[in-house]
Chain A
Amino acid sequence: MTAATPVTTTPPLTPDKPTAASVAKKRLSSPWASLAAIVLAVLWTIPTFGLLVSSFRPERAIKTTGWWTFFSDPTVTMDNYKAVFGEDGGVNLASYFVNSLMICIPAVLIPMALATLAAYAFAWINFPGRNVLFIVVFALQIVPLQVTLIPLLEIFVNIDLTGTFWTLWISHSTFALPLAIYLLHNFMREIPSGLIEAARIDGAGHVSIFFKVMLPLLTPALAAFGIFQFLWVWNDLLVALVFAGGGDEVAPITLQLANLSGTRGTAWQLLSAGAFVSIVVPVVVFLLLQRYFVRGLLAGSVKG
C-alpha cells in the first residue's frame, strides 16, 4: 500500500488534438502498433478463456484433450456447474457463495460509514491533536496485514468470537479504515469551504451539515471506495484463512476454491466451474461500475 498517490485527473478527450502517445503510435506505422496491441490482448485473454471453455466441457474431455480441441469437437455440458453447486459432490459452492455475500455487505458498509465520519472530522472540524492523529491514521496504511493477524486472532479467541462472521466483519472493517479515511478526506477537502461556512452561519450543526451538505456530494467517492472494498473482501484469502479457516459455515468462496485446488488439484471439471462461479460477481461489479473503480484507483492506488 503506497501511502500517497497523486490524484491524476483525466482530462476530457479532445479527438482532434493528438496526444504524445498517439503521435508516437502513428509514426510507428500503425499496422505494427495494432498488431502488437492485438497480440498482447490475446495473450492476456487466453488463460481465462481456456478455463472458461473447459468449464463447459465433459469431465472426460477436459482430462484427456486440450481445451483448444473444443473447436473441432464441440460438446457442451452444464454438468460441471451442477457438480460444484450440488450437495453430493462435496464442493457445495452455493453455501460458500452465500458466505462471501454475508461477509462482504457489512465489511463494505461499516468502514464506509465510519470512515466518512472520521474524514469529516479531519477535514472540517478544528480540534487539538488533529494533525498528529491524521498522520498516524495515514501512516497506518503501510502496516501489512500479516503483522496484525495472530494477536487479533488471540483477541477473538479470548472473547469467544472465533468461527463467526464477526471476526471477518471486524477485521476487514478495521483494515479498510486508513485507506478509506485518506481517500474520503482528500475528496472532502476539495469541497469549497464557503458551502460549510454558509451552513454554519445559518445555524446548522455538524450533524446536519454532514447529512445535508457533505453526503450528497460524496456519492462518487463513496462509490469508488465501496467497489474497491467489495472487490478486496470478496477476493481475500489470507484474512479468511486465518479467521474462518476452521469452519465451513463462515468460509468464503475463495477459501473453498483454494482448498479444492489443494486437495483435488486435478479435478479440473470442478476447479474450472468453481473458478468461474467465484469470478462472476467481481467481474460483473467491475464491468458495471468500471468508471468508479478506475477513479478509485487513480485517487488512491491499491491496498494490501
Chain B
Amino acid sequence: MFNTASTTPEKILQMLAALLLFAAVLGIILFIAAKFGGRRGDKVVAWLYLLPTVLLLAVGLIYPGLRTIYESFFDAAGKNFIGLDNYGTIFTDKDQLTVLRNTVIWVVLVPFVATAIGLVYAILVDKSRFESFAKALIFLPMSISFVAAGVIWKFMYEYRPDQGNVKQIGLINQIIVWLGGKPQQLLIESPLNTFLLIVVMIWIQAGFAMTILSAAIKAIPDDIIEAARLDGVNAWSMFRKITLPSVQPTVVVVLTTIGIATLKVFDIVRTMTGGQFKTSVVANEFYSQTFRADNQGLGAALAVLLFILVIPIVAYNIRTLRRSEAS
C-alpha cells in the first residue's frame, strides 16, 4: 500500500485504500469525541478535532520552514557552516543580481498592469448584455495551468529564420513581418524576453483582478451614483471621484495578492526559457540551485529570501484592511 503503484487498477486501489485509511482515522477521532459530552468535554473534543491538522502543519510546514532557514547558513553540500555567505552571494554575484533585477521588474509590472487592465475591463463590460460571457473570456486563463499557459505563449513567440520561403508560425513574429520588420528570436534576447514572460503572467492575473474589482464596483451604493449623476458629473470624474475611491481598498488587496503570486512565479519561467538567457527569477533560481546546481545552501537562502519578501506585502495588506475596517 505504501509502494509505488504502476498500473491503473493498482493506482485506483491504492487511492481507495488511502481514502479508507483516512476515513478510519476520522472515524476513530469522531468516535472518541462523541464520548465526551457536555461543556466539560469541550477541551478534549477541540484537541481531537485539531490533532491531525496540528500534526500535519507541525511536520509539513513549521519544521521544514525552520529547517530551511537553518540550512541557508550552510555551504553547497550542507556540511560546513558559512554564516551569511549565501545571502552575500545573492546580493553580489553577477548572475544572482540579474535574478534579483528580474524579480523586481516582475513584481513591479505584473500587479499594476494586470490590475489596471482588470479594472478597465470590469468597468467596460459592467451591465452590458454579454457581461458574463465577456468576463469568462478574460477569466478563463486563470483556470489553466501556468505550464499550459507557457506552452500557449511559447507558440505565440515562436521564431522561424528569416530566409527564402520560410514562413513564420508564431503570431507575434508574423505581425512583425507584416509590419515590415525582421523576425526576432524573441525569447532569447535579453532584456526583452523577461518582458515577454511578464506578459504571460499579466494575461493570467488580469482575470483575477477583474473578478474581484467587478464585485467591488457592483457594491458601490446606488444613492452616491444617483447623486453624482444628478449633479451632471462627467464620465472621467465619475471614475476618478466615485468609482476609484470606492474600490480603492479592494485595489490594494488585488495588487498585493497578485504581487505575492508573482514573487513565487516559477512554472512560466521554467516552461518557456528554463531560466536561461537571463530570465531567471528568485523562485526559479531556488529550484535550479537546489536541484540542478546541487547548491543546497544557496537554494535554501533563496527560499528564505522569498519568505522575507512576502512579509512586508502581507503586513501592508493587513494594515490597510485594519484601517478600512476602522473607518
A249 contact set on B, CB distance < 8 A:
4-6
A62 contact set on B, CB distance < 8 A:
169
B224 contact set on A, CB distance < 8 A:
20
Decide if B77 is an interface residue (CB 8 Å cutoff).
Answer: no
- B53 x A170 contact (CB < 8 A): no
- A113 x B56 contact (CB < 8 A): no
Decide if B253 is an interface residue (CB 8 Å cutoff).
Answer: yes
CB neighbors of A among B43-99 (8 A): 43, 45-47, 49-50, 52-54, 56-57, 59-65, 67-69, 71
The segment from A75-83, A173-181, A188-196 found at the interface with B is A173-181
Decide if B311 is an interface residue (CB 8 Å cutoff).
Answer: yes
A143 contact set on B, CB distance < 8 A:
61, 65, 307
A208 contact set on B, CB distance < 8 A:
34
Give CA–CA (A29, B106) in the complex, Å.
35
- B57 x A178 contact (CB < 8 A): yes
- B212 x A297 contact (CB < 8 A): yes
Q: B interface, how many residues as a size bin?
A: 35 or more
Shortest distance in angstroms between A99's beta carbon and chain B's nearest beta carbon?
7
- A48 x B46 contact (CB < 8 A): no
- B155 x A50 contact (CB < 8 A): yes
Decide if B107 is an interface residue (CB 8 Å cutoff).
Answer: no
- B61 x A148 contact (CB < 8 A): yes
A205 contact set on B, CB distance < 8 A:
33-34, 36-38, 41, 45
Question: How many residues in A have their beta carbons less than 8 Å from beta carbons of B?
Answer: 140
Q: Which residues of A contact B (CB under 8 A)?
A: 1-6, 8-11, 13-15, 17-28, 33-34, 36-37, 40-41, 44-48, 50-51, 54, 62-68, 95, 98-99, 102, 105-106, 109-110, 113-115, 117-118, 120-122, 125-128, 130, 133, 137, 140, 142-152, 155, 160-161, 163-166, 169-171, 173-175, 177-178, 181, 203, 205-208, 231, 234-238, 241-242, 245, 247, 249-250, 254, 257-258, 261-262, 265, 268, 271-272, 274-275, 278-279, 282-283, 285-287, 290, 293-294, 297-298, 301-302, 304
